[in-house]
Amino acid sequence: MKRFVAVTLGILTAIGGFVDIGDLVANAEVGARFGFDLAWVVGVGVIGICVFAEMAGRVAAVSTRPVFDLVRERLGARAALANLLASSFVNFLTLAAEVAGIALALELASSVSYLLWIPFTSLAVWLVIWRVRFETMERIFGLAGLSLVAFAVGFWRLGPDWGSVFHSVSHPVVPSGEGHATYLFYAVSLFGAAMTPYEVFFFSSGAVEERWTTDDLNVNRANVLIGFPLGGILSLSIMGTTALVLLPRGITVDNLAQVALPTVLALGKLGLAFLLIGFFAATFGAALETALSSGYIISQFFGWQWGKMVRPVDAPRFHAVVLVSLVLGAMLVLTSVDPIKVTEYSLVLSALALPLTYFPILVIANDPDYMHGRTNGRVANALGSIFLIIVLVASAAAIPLMIVTKAGQ
Amino acid sequence: MRLSELLHSRVVDAAGNDVGRVHDVRLVQDGPLVGTFGAAFRVEGLIVGPAIAGARLGYRRSGMTGPFLLAAPLRRLHRRVKFVPWDRVAELGRDTISISGSADDLDEPEPLPTA
Amino acid sequence: MSEHVGWAGRPRRLRRLDAGLSLLDRQILDRDGRLSGKVDDLELTPPEGDGSGPPVVTAILSGPGALARRLRGSVGAWLESVHSRLHPSAEPGPARIPFGVVKEIAATVGLSVRKDDLELSRFEDWTRDHIIGRIPGARHAPE
Amino acid sequence: METARLGVDAVARDRTTGPYVSVLLGQAEEQATSVQSTFDSVQPPNEDADRLRDEVDGLLTQAVSVLGDVRIAARRGDTDGITGRGPALADISKRLSDLEDRLG
């Protein structure tokens, strides 16, 4: 059990990154529109985030430097500031959407409008950050988020024809009725969702919060190799259930209730109960991840004391940033702007900012002054280089595709 | 004077030929003793080269060899980098630093080791 | 290359480093390991005496007063004006950490003093005293 | 429409809970309403289009009304009220998709 609990940082990071409110809906939407024809992107994204999260975790364990320190040390103050502004904006939009996402999950359980829940959900997120120890927090929300495995069970119970599923995953085509640009737009969004920078900000800062050392490199690898593929499997399961049930009926997905529908049909009330717990835990986890990340990266840029490992009075500016982000985020979603649209746009913006985060990680993971003999091996460097190119391409394509396709419509 | 006033400045030689931009400032620890630190660092010279991105990524040091995709082109670019010893600095302007003599007799900086 | 005789009698190579690469933008830790700002710039001073010869690194400059100049452009100007407006003295300079209190230069820069003894933490103190410190539970570590 | 049919189906097979279904149906109704108002705001170019417009609009009005009834039944926890409207939903849904096919 102790060994299993050691990987909850990876699980929470991945759940927050792969199945937060925007991704829950985006995965379901992609399944209902494209079937299994975009599943390969999730696979590519999982490998990409594993490669870079492993490097970031290793750097954090060996040199005790979290990712945003590296960004500033290698890009310099000006480019790091540009990254800080872009990443903070994405973080903030995502945080606002997650605060609403928790409320949407509560609405499904209670049928009380999500807008009424928002003041309580944002207060609850803040209380957890204020009072709960980092390890306790990651265990509760990481493990509770696992109940989203109901999606995988639901997919299996829906009894897909495995042969044809494998065929369409391995031979993707652009479905008739969808343009190539739209297909590519969703591909970039899914890739951006898998690689959102706040995952490595959170993961590496979490590693520092837990005081990882060189002895924890195996824990790092286990976290990465269990957490992120698990997040990917959950994403694919959601896509699969909607591809099997909603696609044949021509249903397009735009809310959380529809995301659950195929699994509810397959598994009934018990399945619904698991999904509701999972929705709650995943959106809550993502809210914690983004709220903390906003404090982490601003503090790490300026060199302020940050973290939950010290008393709040000892990291006052860090806690002030988190508090202000939460208040502003709650105010944004209380305007009844569609939280799901908010995250869809933030995913595209995040694809744009990816290289500014992943490039410095790759450079420093090769720097013997930081790594003391734990620099990248050949495999890590080969994969890192390939994914750096993919990240650059996705970043360059993100905005043109969004304009051409009117954000995938 | 601040370090940032030197970084990125343009460097020209006595004949007015362009030498490049200041990539970095090399320090050596042989100044007067200060507090608990020991000998202070003093400026040894300027590392000057073509205005390229990536001058700050650390590929000037001998131990930085990966990944190939970055290391190969950056190490090649760093071969065109020159070292200007401080006694060659003739005038510090706002954005331009003039050096005495010709740029042709400048050597490459000695590569620093990594840990 | 000049060589010195180290304290143990063995010849020791002088330590050299490239300031932009190995000092600038690094995290500063105080005596107790607390995060105390970044190396935002370095102060270079002409040597004592006639002032000729190579400048000596006399201090680390840290905080918005130092960072603003490096950012240049409108963002830098904005940061500088915020800094001088919030600062009590009429012509605030950047916060100075004399190099004499530097203990170690590695992936981080370690100091031999506590951060409260430096003039670094004005904004931090204000945030603590007026906002965070007033919220119940701020003085206990999370459990 | 189809979302609502699946929802009603789930109720008939006792596979779901009241709050969930009422949110699901409420959102389906909202969607149908927004489709109808978007459609109504388009100016028909000629008389043929006028006739078509009336036909579609009539169908959409029926759809919104049935969806409203189902949603209200779900709010009240009236299972029979929900499942009893299954056939009506199926009928309107089929006519809408026929119409869509005809228009290509």
Mean pLDDT of A243-269: 91
Q: What is the pLDDT of residues A110-143, one digit of tens each?
A: 989 999 999 999 999 999 999 999 999 999 999 9
| Residue B30: both structure tokens together | 């042989």
Out of A381-390, B6-15, C7-16, C31-40, pick the least confident: C7-16
pLDDT at C12 over 90: no
Say whether the peptide bond before residue B67 is cis (omega within 30 degrees of 0).
Answer: yes
Specify the CATH number for the domain of residue B23: 2.30.30.240
- Rounded Cα distance, A284 and B38, in Å: 51
Residues sharing a CB contact under 8 Å with residue A101, sequence separation 6 or more, in sequence order: A20, A21, A24, A256, A279, A283, A286, A287, A339
Question: Which residues in chain A have their CB less than 8 angstroms from residue C107's CB?
Answer: 63-65, 369-370
A115 lies within 8 A of chain D by CB: no
Confidence check: pLDDT of A366 > 90: yes
- State the pTM of this model: 0.91
Q: What are phi and psi of C129, to 5 degrees?
A: -70, -30
Residue C72 region, left (φ>0) first, then alpha (ψ -120 to 50), else beta?
left
Using an 8 Å CB-CB cutoff, list residues of chain D that contact chain A: 2-3, 6-7, 9-10, 13-20, 22-24, 27, 31, 75, 97
Averaged over C58-81, what is the pLDDT? Answer: 84
Residues of chain D with pLDDT under 70: 1, 104
Say yes or no to pLDDT of C92 above 80. no
Q: Which residues pair with B42 in a beta bridge?
A: B28, C56
Helix, strand, coil: what percent of chain D each, to 5?
Answer: 85, 0, 15
Q: Decide: B34 and B48 in contact? Cβ < 8 Å.
A: no
What pLDDT does residue D47 have?
79
C107 or A44, which is more confident = A44
Put simply, the answer to whether A251 touches D2 (Cβ < 8 Å) is yes
* DSSP-based three-state secondary structure for A132: coil
**Domains, chain A:** 2-404 (1.20.1740.10)
Give the span between the Cα atoms of A308 and A133, in whole angstroms.
7
pLDDT value at position A315? 92
| Predicted confidence (pLDDT) per residue in A37-63, tens digit | 999 999 999 999 999 999 999 999 999
Spatial distance between the Cα atoms of A124 and A130, rounded to a whole number of angstroms: 10
Q: What pLDDT, on the 0 to 100 scale, is given for residue C8?
A: 43
ipTM of the complex as predicted: 0.87
pLDDT class of C76 with cuts at 50, 70, 90: confident
Whether pLDDT at C131 is above 60:
yes
Q: What residues contact A228, with CB distance under 8 A and at least 6 apart?
A: A10, A13, A14, A17, A18, A46, A49, A50, A53
pLDDT of residue A395: 93
Digit-coded pLDDT (tens) for B25-56: 999 998 888 887 889 999 999 999 887 767 78
pLDDT of residue C6: 40
The mean predicted confidence, pLDDT, of chain A is: 92
In B, minimum Cα distance to A363 occurs at B57
Chains C and B touch (3+ CB pairs under 8 A): yes
Cα B11 to Cα B48: distance, rounded to the nearest angstrom? 7
Residue B64 in domain: no
DSSP A222-269: HHHHHHHHHHHHHHHHHHHHHHHHTGGGTPPP-SHHHHHHHHHHHHHH
Say what the pLDDT of residue C90 is: 59
Does residue C9 register a pLDDT over 50? no
Assess contact for C2 and B30: CB atoms under 8 A.
yes
Q: How many CB atoms lie within 10 A of CB A386?
A: 15
Q: Is D15 helix (H, G, I), strand (E, B) or coil?
A: coil
Classify the C-alpha dihedral C34-C37-C41-C46 as positive or negative: negative
Q: C11 pLDDT band (50/70/90 cuts)? A: very low
- For residue C88, the model assigns a pLDDT of 66
Whether residue B114 lies inside any domain: the answer is: no
SS3 B44: strand
pLDDT at C3 over 80: no
**How do residues B62-105 score in pLDDT, each as one tens digit?**
888 889 998 988 888 888 889 999 999 999 988 899 999 888 88
B90: number of Cβ within 10 Å: 13
**Nearest CB to D7; choose among A108, A111, A261:** A261
Q: Considering the domain boundaries, does residue B71 fall inside one?
A: no
Distance from CA of A33 to the nearest CA of D (A): 15
Instruction: State the burial class of residue B17 (Cβ atoms within 10 Å of its Cβ: 0-12, 13-18, 19+).
Output: exposed
- Write down which chains contact chain A via at least 3 CB pairs under 8 A: B, C, D
Q: By the 8 A CB rule, do B98 and B12 touch?
A: yes
Please report the residues numbered 330 through 389 in chain A whose beta carbons come closer than 8 angstroms to any beta carbon of chain B: 362-363, 366-369, 372, 375-376, 381-382, 384-385, 388
Q: Is residue B42 part of a domain?
A: yes
The per-residue pLDDT for B45 is: 95
Share of chain C above pLDDT 90, in %: 36
Cα C40 to Cα C23, C27, C29, C61, D42: the distances in Å are 9, 9, 14, 6, 59
What does the DSSP 8-state code read for residue A336?
T
Encoding tokens for residue A56? 């970031």
Put simply, the answer to whether B112 touches C103 (Cβ < 8 Å) is: no
Q: Is residue B106 part of a domain?
A: no
Contact residues for A30 (Cβ-Cβ < 8 A; gap 6+): A38, A186, A190, A239
Identify the CA nearest to D71 among candidates D35, D37, D27.
Answer: D27
Contact call for residues A256 and A40 (beta carbons, < 8 A) = no
B69 part of a folded domain = no
DSSP SS3 for C58: strand
Whether A277 shows a pLDDT value over 70: the answer reads yes
Distance CA A357, CA A35 (A): 32
Cβ–Cβ under 8 Å, residues A154 and A266: yes
Strand, helix or coil at A24?
helix
Residue C91: the pLDDT is 61
3-state helix/strand/coil string of A266-301: HHHHHHHHHHHHHHHHHHHHHHHHHHHHHHHHHHHH
Contact B3 C112 (CB under 8 A): no
CA distance B25 to C17: 8
Identify the pLDDT of residue C2: 41
**Burial class of residue B79 in the structure, from the number of CB atoms within 10 Å of its CB (0-12 exposed, 13-18 middle, 19+ buried):** exposed
Of all residues in chain A, the percent with pLDDT exceeding 70 is 99
Alpha helices in A111-248 (DSSP H): 114-131, 134-145, 149-157, 162-170, 180-194, 197-209, 217-245
**Is residue B44 a part of any domain in this protein?**
yes
Q: Which domain covers residue B45, as residue numbers?
A: 3-53+81-98
pLDDT digits (tens, 9 = 90+) for A205-221: 999 999 999 999 999 99
The pLDDT of C71-77, averaged and rounded, is: 77
Angle between helices D18-40 and A256-302 (to 10 degrees): 90
Overall domain count for chain B: 1
Does B31 reside within a domain?
yes
- Quick one: average pLDDT of A273-301? 96
